[in-house]
């Protein structure tokens, strides 16, 4: 059995919700959004919640797989102790993911890439939905559920949506494991270096749909703020990062972010439900 947090669906926001979110956007944020040249976006599980991907820690609960808390099944120790169980957990989630689509939050973030002169998208998510929405050069801090990695020679292999997954490395014959960063493992050094450099060099930073509990990703907004960036959180709930943010937009990412369509191109129709 899998007990995960409930998830919503990728509906367009209602007019009433859009109006209430619009009121939250301060003049300062609007001006910075219009003048910013170097923008960093950090996303977490919440950005995919409206696509139907369960978060890890939503609603006071924590994800559990066959009685094991996800901190246990998604850990370096578990790969050593029971790699088939780890694969079972990731195969199950990949099966669910292949039918899911990006939501309006992913779509708006993808549009920002062509709007700002320098744009960096850093995600903790392993689901590939940013790329599916059209985002390019996404920095994946915690790896990807769509790749396997050899425990011996470290070669990486793409896992196709409907393809089969080999258990052994076609190159050296050693075991393959999911190419994701589990608890107690190091993040890919280059990915984190690039993310930290972008944080230290941005003038606007959005922190979207993350509880801000897991480090070192959760340290990026502080790096951005220390460098003079305006930091804006988008989350329906208050988080451990909220106090470090200059602006907090309270709401679901798929409802809040489409408001920025109108900010970046005045007169553009912001799609909403009647």
SS3 state at 273:
strand
- 236-244, long-range: CB within 8 Å, 24+ apart, which pairs? 236/46, 239/210, 239/211, 239/212, 240/211, 240/212, 240/213, 241/207, 241/210, 241/212
Among 11, 20, 26, 57, contact with ligand BJW (rule: CB under 6 A): 57
Q: In angstroms, what is the minimal distance from the CB of 264 to ligand BJW?
A: 20
Task: Give the Cα separation of 197 and 176 in Å (integer).
Answer: 31
From residue 186 to residue 225, what is the string marking binding to ligand BJW with x (rule CB under 6 A)?
Answer: xx---------------------xxx-xxxx---------
Task: Give the Cα separation of 161 and 138 in Å (integer).
Answer: 19
For ligand BJW, which residue has the nearest CB?
A: 46
Of the candidate spans 20-28, 80-88, 165-173, 175-183, the one that interacts with ligand BJW by CB under 6 A turns out to be 175-183
- Considering only residues 31-50, where is the footprint of ligand BJW by CB under 6 A? 44-46, 49-50
User: Does residue 154 carry a catalytic annotation?
Assistant: no
CA angle 78, 82, 87 (to 5 degrees): 90
User: Looking at beta carbons only, is 2 or 34 nearer to ligand BJW?
Assistant: 2
Contact between 180 and ligand BJW per CB under 6 A: yes
Q: In angstroms, what is the minimal distance from the CB of 38 to ligand BJW?
A: 23
Q: In angstroms, what is the minimal distance from the CB of 145 to ligand BJW?
A: 7
Determine which one of 106, 142, 154, 162 is catalytic: 142
Q: State the burial class of residue 18 (Cβ atoms within 10 Å of its Cβ: 0-12, 13-18, 19+).
A: buried
Listed in sequence order, the residues at least 6 apart from 153 whose beta carbon sits closer than 8 Å to its beta carbon are 169, 171, 172, 174
- Considering only residues 68-87, where is the footprint of ligand BJW by CB under 6 A? 70, 74
DSSP 68-94: EEHHHHTBHHHHHH-HHHHHHHHHHHH
| Catalytic residue numbers, as ranges | 142
Q: Which residues bind ligand BJW (CB under 6 A)?
A: 44-46, 49-50, 55-58, 70, 74, 124, 126, 142, 180-187, 209-211, 213-216, 235-237, 239, 252-254
């Amino acid at each position: 059995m899998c007990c995960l947090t409930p998830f919503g669906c990728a509906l367009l926001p209602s007019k009433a919700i859009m109006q209430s979110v619009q009121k939250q956007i301060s003049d300062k944020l609007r001006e910075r959004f219009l003048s910013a040249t170097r923008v960093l976006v950090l996303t977490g599980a919440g950005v995919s919640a409206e696509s139907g991907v369960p978060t890890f820690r939503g609603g006071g609960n924590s994800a559990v797989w066959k009685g094991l808390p996800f901190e246990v099944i998604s850990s370096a120790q578990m790969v050593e102790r029971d790699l088939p169980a780890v694969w079972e957990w990731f195969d199950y989630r990949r099966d669910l993911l292949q039918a899911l689509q990006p939501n309006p939050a992913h779509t708006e973030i993808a549009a920002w890439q062509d709007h700002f002169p320098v744009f960096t998208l850093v995600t903790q998510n392993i689901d590939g939905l940013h790329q599916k929405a059209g985002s390019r050069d996404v920095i994946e801090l915690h790896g990807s559920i769509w790749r396997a990695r050899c425990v011996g020679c470290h070669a990486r292999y793409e896992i196709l949506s409907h393809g089969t997954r080999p258990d052994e490395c076609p190159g050296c014959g050693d075991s393959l494991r999911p190419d994701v960063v589990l608890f107690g493992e190091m993040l890919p050094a280059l990915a984190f270096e690039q993310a930290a450099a972008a944080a230290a060099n941005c003038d606007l930073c959005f922190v979207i749909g993350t509880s801000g509990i897991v480090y070192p990703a959760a340290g990026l907004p502080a790096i951005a703020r220390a460098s003079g960036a305006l930091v804006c959180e988008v989350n329906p709930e208050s988080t451990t990062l909220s106090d470090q943010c200059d602006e907090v937009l309270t709401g679901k990412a798929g409802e809040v972010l489409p408001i920025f369509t109108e900010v970046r191109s005045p007169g553009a129709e912001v799609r909403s439900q009647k």
